[in-house]
Amino acid sequence: MFVWLPVQVWPHQTVIAIARADDTTFGILHSRFHELWSLRMGTSLEDRPRYTPTTCFETFPFPAGLTPRRHRAPAYGDT
């Protein structure tokens, strides 16, 4: 499940945060295609699927021209 969060929110370390502000990326990540991709490419913990950025997000075949720019978001404490 993907949700919009206010900029002031710092997600817990077990939450995958994708720092994007555009509706296009949000819509693609909510798509059935991305859900199926994530279930196939992700990992599992016991019998539960887990979304892992390296296997689900970074390898996802975004539609041509809609691939998000990949740059590191500032880490907590960065100045």
Q: What is the pLDDT of residue 75?
A: 59
Contact of 17 with 11, CB cutoff 8 Å: yes
> Tokens 């590191």 sit at which residue?
72
**Nearest 10 degrees: Cα torsion 37, 24, 76, 9:** -100
Tokens of 4: 């919009």
Tens-place pLDDT, residues 15-73 = 888 888 888 888 999 999 999 999 999 999 999 999 988 999 999 998 887 766 655 55
Tokens 């196939």 sit on residue? 40
**Distance separating alpha carbons of residues 76 and 25, to the nearest angstrom:** 24
2 in Cβ contact with 29 (< 8 Å):
yes
